[in-house]
Structure formats: C-alpha cells, structure tokens
Amino acid sequence: MKDTKVLDLNSSYSYLMWCDIFSETSIVAEKNGETLGFISGYKNPNNSNKLFIWQVAVDASARGNGLATKMLRQLLKRETCKDIHYVEATVSPSNRPSQSLFKGLAKKLDTDCHISDCYVTEDFPDQEEEHEDELLFTIGPITTENK
C-alpha cells in the first residue's frame, strides 16, 4: 500500500482485522511467495447486491498485465458474490489507471459504468493534507453469465 504512493495508508491493525473479517470479499495475488496484488472489498450492508471495492493495489512490476482486472473477476465468481449485481468504488479524478480499471471492467462484463459525485475535498477533516475529491463509479447491472 505504501509503495503505491496514492492510496490512503491505514493502520496495520485495520489490515489484520480486514483480512480476518472480510477475507471472502478480499483477495491477494502472490507469485513465488511475493505479494503482487491486493483488493479489499465488502458487501454493502445497506444493499447486499453491491460489492464495494475499497482499495486495489498492484505492485509496479506487475501493472498493465490485467492482474487487477483478474482479481476483481475472481472476487465476482466467488460463491459469496453470487447475488452481487453491482461493483462500486470511489476514485480520484486524477487517478487515470484506476478509472481505466473500472471502465475496462464494465466493458468486459458487457455493462455500464456510471460516474457520479461522492466525496469532495471539504468533506475530509484533515485540511492540512488536502485530499482530492472522490467520484463514485458504479458498474452494473452484472449478469451471472457475464461474471
């Protein structure tokens, strides 16, 4: 996470807790014992057909080869995601790779990618370290056949 230099860093405790409690909707990609990719996600408690993707990271050495897309699709194929018909994520306007990832996912799933306002800079309490706006990407509806 730290190496990406664009993702918010959370505490080690929160990542440990995440891997214990949300392992069914999260995924790690490894090669020769080295971690190359990670996605943390959860089913929206207010809408159980939505999978919210919190953080996606692929090691710089492995980017551009479809790994993030593959991890997202693996998650969608899991039994726990059988009732998921939408993927949601928030993305900063400047994060082109992430925007391409979610737009590309929509294309591959033969569905739409709807982009709407979500959080704005002023919503973030730490005004000393300005946080970019976050746009909400909603991908779907996703059919079972296209997963």
Residue 66 in the binding site for ligand COA (CB under 6 A):
yes
Task: Please state, in angstroms and rounded to a whole number, the distance separating the CA atoms of residues 92 and 95.
Answer: 5
Cβ neighbours of residue 69 under 8 Å, at least 6 residues apart?
101, 104, 105, 108
Residue 135 in the binding site for ligand COA (CB under 6 A):
no
CA 84 to chain centre: 14
User: x/- binding map, residues 7-46, to ligand COA, per CB under 6 A?
Assistant: x---------------------------------------
DSSP bridge pairs for 57:
38
What DSSP assignment string belongs to 85-132? -EEEEEE-TT-HHHHHHHHHHHHHTT-EEEEEEEE-GGGSS--SSPPP
The residue within the footprint of ligand COA, chosen from 26, 40, 98, 138 (CB under 6 A), is 98
Alpha-carbon distance values, 13 to 36, 45, 51, 107, 138 (Å): 21, 22, 23, 36, 29
Using the minimum distance from each CB to ligand COA, give the nearer residue, 24 or 132.
Answer: 132
Residue 94 in the binding site for ligand COA (CB under 6 A):
no
Using the minimum distance from each CB to ligand COA, give the nearer residue, 3 or 79.
Answer: 3
Task: Please state, in angstroms and rounded to a whole number, the distance separating the CA atoms of residues 65 and 95.
Answer: 18
Stretch in the footprint of ligand COA (CB under 6 A) among 25-33, 51-59, 115-123, 129-137: 51-59
Using the minimum distance from each CB to ligand COA, give the nearer residue, 68 or 139.
Answer: 68
Residue 64 in the binding site for ligand COA (CB under 6 A):
yes
Stretch in the footprint of ligand COA (CB under 6 A) among 16-24, 50-58, 74-82, 116-124: 50-58
Contact residues for ligand COA, defined by CB under 6 A: 4, 6-7, 55-58, 63-69, 95-98, 100-101, 104
